[in-house]
Structure 1
Amino acid sequence: MPTVVDQDARTAAHRLARASTEVFAPAVFAAVMPLVVAVHSTAPAVAVGFGWGLLAVLFCSAVPYAIIWWGVRRGALTDHHIRVRSQRRRPLLLGSLSVLVGLTALVLLGAPPPLVALVVGMLAILAAILAVNQVWKISAHAAISAASVSALIFVFGLVATPLLGVVAVVGWSRVRLRDHTAAQVVAGTVLGPLVGAPFFVLLG
């Protein structure tokens, strides 16, 4: 029979998993990564990089998240993580369209190549997730976190390798919360860097 200590440990683990899922959600990475890459690629002109980053964030994070938020508000989506696989197609398509519009603007306005490469990679990952999602609920959390950490390691070198722990925590949290199976998390972890990294390396 579970003891009070066991129950408390399970409760604490669940809270940690919930917090990790929120803090390292795809929308958060989509908001942070363009800023980091843009500022790094335009240094020491931090203000210029920040401006480019904000433009990318608008189309890669703010608009897609607003689409999801509106879907939840209307009752079309169960929650902002879109746990029901059948509900994911429309917001993923609209989110991809937003990223595509943002990518077009960045290219036409002459954004830094690393930032353009990052957004191309994000668009490719979204397309891959959308394709797989037609038949199987792959973990977008795992895919985006793994791809983001891979990009950071490419930009900053081995000093960024401890961030791989974030990918592990994200994967654990998704399984712990029973939003995904271990297989779905592993598949997402592999898909993200596999699809996104080549674009970042070749175009950046």
Structure 2
Amino acid sequence: MTDIDTRVPRTAADKAARVITEVGAPWILNIVASMIIGMAVGAPGWGVFVAVFGGVVPMIFILVGMRRAKISDHHVTRINERHMLIASLLVVTLGALIVQIVAGAPIEMIAFLSSGLAALAAAAVITSALHWKVSGHTGASAAIAVVLALSVSPWWLLALALTPMIGWSRVHLGDHTKGQVVAGAIAGAIAAGLTYVVIA
């Protein structure tokens, strides 16, 4: 099994990029956003539910893949390792969405999970159909900022300022090109935003 990170930061910029890329990882952003929306709509239990399926479960899948030598690192930087992972996450997210609908979860939580599913589907199309490693980090960051602005407060649009920082970290570490981080942000924001508006 490959270590979580074999690259040692050598400069202040390297260290900053590593911290930003870890804190801005999709699974962490999904957990935080789920709890924020859950609290905002008075449904913290559903916030935890979405946090589990939007953040904890994906990381478990990745760690299992690493243990089985199917995935080389926890950011899944190799494009050939992303196809099966994304497909699995789409199935799990769809299952969680069905549970929400059947159990009568608040529409905001259903719309939030649906927006995440849409953003993930957009990334899947770009990754598998176009064979281009679009950034999941910037996709999640932009998508979450837009959805929080729509569901909680327009002030959350200010969080979009974090997306370029996260994008810089991914490019600096050599995991993505500038085009891939920009495309990820645009695809995530549009897919998630439109889905949330339509459902909520």
Fold match by TM threshold 0.5: yes
Tell me which residue corresponds to 1:5: none
Tell me which residue corresponds to 2:156: 160
What are structure 1's unaligned runs of at least 5 residues? Answer: 1-9, 43-48
Query: Using a 3 Å threshold, how does the CA distance of structure 1 residues 104 and 158 change in structure 2: closer, same or farther?
Result: closer
Q: Is the 8 A contact 2:40 2:152 kept in 1?
A: no
Match of 1:198 among 170, 194, 199: 194
Q: What is the DSSP-based 3-state SS (H/G/I as helix, E as strand, rest coil) of the residue aligned with 2:153?
A: helix
TM-score where L is the length of structure 1: 0.89
Residues 1-204 of structure 1: pairs in structure 2 closer than 5 A: 11-42=11-42, 49-134=43-128, 135-204=131-200
Query: Using a 3 Å threshold, how does the CA distance of structure 1 residues 25 and 202 change in structure 2: closer, same or farther?
Result: same
Tell me which residue corresponds to 1:4: none
Pairwise CA RMSD: 1.5
Counterpart Cα distance in 1 of 2:169 and 2:155: 25
Counterpart Cα distance in 2 of 1:151 and 1:169: 19
Q: Is the 8 A contact 1:129 1:138 kept in 2?
A: yes
Count the aligned residue pairs. 190
Counterpart Cα distance in 2 of 1:160 and 1:58: 22
Tell me which residue corresponds to 2:4: none
Counterpart Cα distance in 2 of 1:66 and 1:171: 24
Larger Cα-atom Rg: 1
Q: More helix per residue: 1 or 2?
A: 1
Displacement after TM superposition at 1:84 (Å): 0.4
TM-score where L is the length of structure 2: 0.90
Q: Is the 8 A contact 1:26 1:145 kept in 2?
A: yes
What are structure 2's unaligned runs of at least 5 residues? Answer: 1-9
Counterpart Cα distance in 1 of 2:87 and 2:154: 35
